[in-house]
Structure 1
Amino acid sequence: FKAFDTHSIKKLKVQIHYLKPLYYEDYKNMKSIEIAAYVSSLIQDKIKAVELQPKINDTHAGC
């Protein structure tokens, strides 16, 4: 993650994405390591989906 990989105070654009909640019923039979792997895969899938989206102009139109 770039924001933590550098010792700079330069401004960076970051994104926050809220994923669907993970309910107890979804993970009640999983071990903690399985839950961690599942959550990690959800995050990686979201990152890939965002990277595949076309780039939007850096203007702040509509803000």
Structure 2
Amino acid sequence: MYKFEVYKDKAGEFRFRFRASNGEAMVSSEGYKAKASALGAIESIKKNAPGADIVDTTKDAET
């Protein structure tokens, strides 16, 4: 099951990870001074991201 994981980093800021069903961290957030701000960012992603566009800025770069 996919999940958001909220935690406190070594600097004392709140961050979150989005984990895949296999437990792998797919996305990590910036640090937030308030836990409510981290939770608000999660809610914003859940609400606004389903239709997000993909913008490829690599300009035909193949790796």
> What is the TM-score normalised by the length of structure 2?
0.33
Higher relative CO (Cα under 8 Å, sequence separation at least 6) belongs to 2
Larger Rg: 1
> Counting strand residues as a fraction of each chain, which structure ranks higher?
2
> Counting helix residues as a fraction of each chain, which structure ranks higher?
1
